[in-house]
Each structure stands twice: as structure tokens, then as C-alpha cells.
Amino acid sequence: MSFEVVFTAQADSTSSKHLLQHYRHDKLQEDLCFALWRPSTGQLRRAALIDEIILPKNGERTLHGNAGFEPGYLARAIKTAREKEAGLAFMHSHPSPGWQGMSVADVEAERDVLAYPAGATGLPLVGLTIGTDGYWSARFWERDDGEMRRHWCEKVRVIGPQSCKIYFNDNIVPPPLRKNVLRRTFDTWGHESQSTISRLKVGIVGLGSVGCIVAEAVARIGTARVTLIDPDKVEEHNLDRLLYGTVKDIGKLKVDLAAQAIRRNATAEKIQLTVLPVSIHEEAAYKAALDCDMLFSCVDRPVPRDVLNYIAQAHLIPVIDGGIAVETDSRQDNLFSAHWRAHIVTPYHQCLRCSKQYNSSMVVMELDGSLDDPSYISNLPPEQRRGNQNVFPFSLSVAGMEVNLMLRYLLAADWWPLVRQQDYQFVTAETYIINNECHPNCSFRQRRAQGDTENPSYLIEEKYTEPPESGWRRAWQSFIKIFDKVFWKT
């Protein structure tokens, strides 16, 4: 299990402004405050999502170089956390930059003074330290066999409108070495940015024409941890668009095909792949997606898009979505128009439902099977029918747009203009920037940073199990299958 803290930009800005206020006036004075957090639980990662800071009132803390809190402040913070069914986080500042260790006094304050009373919330205490450069470090305090155990976080992420900042714990995930194979990449954006890109955990949902190109790009820029999710198999009509697909691959799982290519083409020193041949609304894939730092939505169905919309809002994992729309004349004999777009989805961007990538009735229709019922589809108005037209160069373009939007979001300096959505019109060859926001009553707005309590209600519980690993077990299982066939004639 790995541990992590994720901030909304607003919570990061409120707390860091408070905690660093004295240093910014050249006074060597630490400060402290409390915050609320909500759990986001993946397969291998537990994240604390922080969106609400409880700043101290007058007299609730003492400042004497170090900083101390009065019991009344802690009591108020715990009471608020319990009322809001959230966990308690404690944060303080240090007079040096970068990832911070803990002094003996720090450990005593968190482990002996705070961790037990914080347990009244039903969730462990999360401790955080901020350095003078705004760099966060964090840990969870969990009760284990009667003792309070500290789990250092792997990283702290801040999700903003413009960019996402990631503060790594180099002891758990060391930065990459500059290797010759990535020389040009390092030279393009520098060591610091490459350290982020290399250590990022990227998930790709949908390994069709767009997803495979995204996977190839991600593998080439040195990303070492990649998760692939897609239940589909290669069919003959995919071969004009599927990057790695050949006639020999018909019938193979798309995720296996992509995994094989990534292993071959990756430039990271060691590639770690998680491969899930199931749909994103099956729990195994959903949980694996919650382990990621960035997700690509390369799907064209309403249910996966709805699931990813939940993840982006409730779990603070940015989703980069893309789509292609082609219009042909009524006999499907002439290209009339084509456009494709890519956009980022976080609580600071328009959600996928408000940007009309899907609607709720289509989600219901996909879940009850009517979306695949031909008689039903023929009665739909033309704009609601799923278009099947697409070509490889269009996929190439939208995949490039998606990957570049991710890079832009990771690398953006403060002065870069805000870009939520890009739209390319094939006929006029123009790219438009669209910065729309969610409808004021959008229900996804209330799901912001709520974590596990806001998972989609229709998730399918654990169905997928890892294939058996040993040759003997595999042989035994195929024997059982043959035995079944022979004796039960199934």
C-alpha cells in the first residue's frame, strides 16, 4: 500500500498563505493549522483528499519560533471533522525548502498528542509539513497492534486550474537518472519536469485507435508506471486504425497488444505495467484507476465517461478526454465535416457531462443494454447515434492533442494562458480554445474532493481475477476445462 495526499488548489493556497506568512516577512517563525481530509482508496494506494482548511482563531495557537496549539483549537477541529464525516490533518511549516523530515518534537506532537484524539473521526491522522518553497511532505499515522505507526507518503499532489504540482518523496520514488536514450527529452523541458513525467502513474482507459497512440507517446517520454484498461479484443475492422494491430492479432486482447508494444518501446529504465482486460466500471479496473495520477479517457461510450467524470471530480485525478466527430452525407459516401477535441477534467474544468460528451440517459441505456439494441438505435435522432466513421490520421491528431494537453498541464508556468478544451476543425483547419464551465447546478460540483463516498452506484463488484501464474496451475486449469467439456458436454 502506498500513501498520498492530494490538495485542491484552493486548499493549498489558503493553507500555504497562512503557514508561510512569517517567512514571507523574513521572520523565522513557524506556523500551524488543521484541515479536513477524505479518503480515496485505490487497489494499492490510499490518498487523503484535502479541500477544507480550519484556520486558527485568535488565541487558539501560540507562536514562539516554534508554534503550539491550544487544546480548544484541536477540540474544535475534531468536532468539525466528525460533523462533516472527514478525517483530521495537521500541518505546520519549516524554515527550509524541499521535502521535510520530522524533528523529535514533531514526532511527539503528531504521534503522542494528536494521533489518538484524531482517531475519534474514525480515520487516521494525516501530518503535513510545508517548506519555504511551498513543497509539501506528508505522512499517515495508523494504529497497528496497539502502536501508532508512521507511513510516509510517496508524494503530495496539488490539483489546480492551470497546472498540477507534484511534490515527490525521493526516498520512496527516486528521481530518474539522465540516460542517453532520453537526452533530447531531458533537454526539452529540463530535469525537474522530466522527474515528474518519469515518476507519474498514468492510466489509459480504452486501447483502441486513440489509446494505443497515447500509450506509445507516454512510453516514449519515459513514464515508468502505466495502467492499461480495456475489455475489448482486436477485430478485423480495427486494423485500419490500430497502431500495433496486424492480422495475426485478431482475437487478442487490446490491452495485451498495447502492453507488449510498451514493454518493447518504453524509454524508462524499468517499466511497471498494470494490465486490466475489464471495463472501467468493474471494481478491479476502477480501483486500479484510483491508483493513477493522470487518466486518459480514450473511450467513446457513456458509462466509462461517466465513471471518469466521477473520478476527476470526487477523487481529484485529472482526466484528459478526447473525441472525434465525423459527418458524412446521408449515403455515407462523402466526408462533410470532421472535428476532434481534447480537454482536461478536474473540479476546475468543465465536467464531461456539461461539455456534452455524454448524458445521463445514455448511461442508463448503456447499463440496461438498450444502447446496443439496433431497433432502438434506429429510432434515435441522428445526433445521438454513435458514429463509426474514423481514420488513423484523425486518431493520431486527437491522441497528440491529448498527450500535449497533459504535458501542458504538468509543465505550465503561471503566465501560460488557461486552456480547458481544444477543438480542431478539419475543413477550416482551425483550432479553437474553449473555456466553458459547468452548469451552475451541475451535481458533479458537489462531488469535488469527496473521495470514496462519491463512487458511481453501478460499479460491478470484483469479477476479474488475475490469471494463474505458474505453468502447473495453468496446465491444471486447462485440464479441468477439458474434463468439464468431455464429461459435461458444455
Chosen residue from 113, 325, 391, 442 binding Zn ion by CB under 5 A: 442
Q: Quick check: 106 binds Zn ion (CB under 5 A)?
A: yes
Report in angstroms how near the CB of residue 343 gets to Zn ion at its nearest.
12
User: In the structure grid, which three cell numbers stand for residue 296, read together?
Assistant: 486518459
x-or-dash string of contact with Zn ion, 57-96, rule CB under 5 A:
----------------------------------------
Q: Decide: 183 and 207 in contact? Cβ < 8 Å.
A: no
At its nearest, how many Å lie between Zn ion and the CB of residue 100? 7
Q: Which is nearer to Zn ion, 31 or 51 (CB)?
A: 31
CB nearer Zn ion, residue 156 or residue 351:
351
The torsion angles phi and psi of 343, rounded to 5 degrees, stand at -155, 155
Quote the least distance from Cβ 96 to Zn ion, whole Å.
10
Number of residues that bind Zn ion (CB under 5 A): 6
Minimal distance, residue 316 CB to Zn ion, in Å = 15
In angstroms, give the least distance from the CB of 107 to Zn ion: 9
Whole-angstrom Cα distance, residue 102 to residue 228?
Answer: 37
Q: Which is nearer to Zn ion, 38 or 349 (CB)?
A: 349
Using the rule CB under 5 A, is 20 a contact of Zn ion?
no
Which of residues 113 and 354 has its CB atom nearest to Zn ion in the complex? Answer: 354
- Cell readout for 352 is 464531461
CB closer to Zn ion out of 407 and 442? 442
H helix or E strand, kind and range, residue 88? strand 87-93
Neighbouring C-beta atoms of residue 403, cutoff 10 Å: 23
User: Three-state DSSP class for 457?
Assistant: coil
CB of residue 247 to Zn ion, shortest distance in Å? 43
The rounded distance, in Å, linking the Cα atoms of 70 and 63 is: 11
From CA 484, how far away is CA 490, in angstroms rounded?
Answer: 7
Nearer to Zn ion, 128 or 243 (CB): 128
Q: Which stretch binds Zn ion (CB under 5 A): 105-113, 215-223, 321-329, 360-368?
A: 105-113
Q: What are phi and psi of 385, to 5 degrees?
A: -80, 140
**Segment interacting with Zn ion, rule: CB under 5 A, options 161-169, 252-260, 352-360, 393-401:** 352-360
How far apart are the C-alpha atoms of 141 and 192, rounded to whole Å? 30
DSSP per-residue codes, 284-304: HHHHHHTT-SEEEE---SHHH
Nearer to Zn ion, 167 or 444 (CB): 444
Rounded to a whole number of angstroms, the CA Rg of the chain reads: 25
State the CB neighbour count (10 A cutoff) for residue 121.
21
Q: Which is nearer to Zn ion, 320 or 438 (CB)?
A: 438
- The answer to whether residue 444 forms part of the interface with Zn ion (CB under 5 A) is yes
350's grid cell:
468543465
Cα(201)–Cα(238) distance, integer angstroms: 28
Nearer to Zn ion, 206 or 347 (CB): 347
Least gap, CB of 159 to Zn ion (angstroms): 16
Minimum Å gap between C-beta 355 and Zn ion is 8
Min CB(105)–Zn ion separation in Å? 7
| One residue of 32, 215, 219, 351 binding Zn ion per CB under 5 A | 351
Q: Smallest gap, in angstroms, from Cβ of residue 28 to Zn ion? A: 13
Q: Does 437 bind Zn ion (CB under 5 A)?
A: no
- 19 is an interface residue for Zn ion by CB under 5 A: no
- Beta carbon nearer to Zn ion, 32 or 268: 32
Residues 231 and 251: their CA atoms lie apart, in Å, by 12
What is the smallest separation between the CB atom of 103 and Zn ion, expressed in angstroms? 5
Please report how close the Cβ of residue 81 comes to Zn ion at its closest, in angstroms. Answer: 22
402 class by beta-carbon count within 10 Å (0-12 exposed, 13-18 middle, 19+ buried): buried
Query: For 167, phi and psi rounded to 5 degrees?
Result: -110, 110
Stretch that binds Zn ion, among 313-321, 403-411, 439-447, 460-468 (CB under 5 A): 439-447
* Strands 61-64 vs 66-69: parallel, antiparallel or unpaired: antiparallel
Question: Contact 395/210 with Cβ under 8 angstroms?
Answer: yes
Nearest C-alpha neighbor of 310 from the set 453, 462, 476: 453
438 binds Zn ion (CB under 5 A): yes
How far apart (Å, rounded) are the C-alpha atoms in residues 403 and 407?
6
Q: Which span (38-46, 101-109, 234-242, 401-409) binds Zn ion, by CB under 5 A?
A: 101-109
The nearer residue to Zn ion, 262 or 344, going by C-beta atoms, is: 344
Q: Which of 107, 354, 411, 460 binds Zn ion (CB under 5 A)?
A: 354
CB neighbours of residue 76 within 10 Å: 16
Per CB under 5 A, the segment of 46-54, 343-351, 420-428, 464-472 that binds Zn ion is 343-351
Angular region, 34: left φ>0, alpha ψ -120 to 50, beta rest: beta
> What is the number of other CB atoms lying within 10 angstroms of the CB of residue 326?
18
By beta-carbon proximity to Zn ion, the closer residue of 136 and 186 is: 136
| φ, ψ of residue 187 in degrees (nearest 5) | -70, -20
Does position 294 bind Zn ion by CB under 5 A?
A: no
Residues forming contacts to Zn ion in the complex (CB under 5 A) are: 106, 351, 354, 438, 442, 444
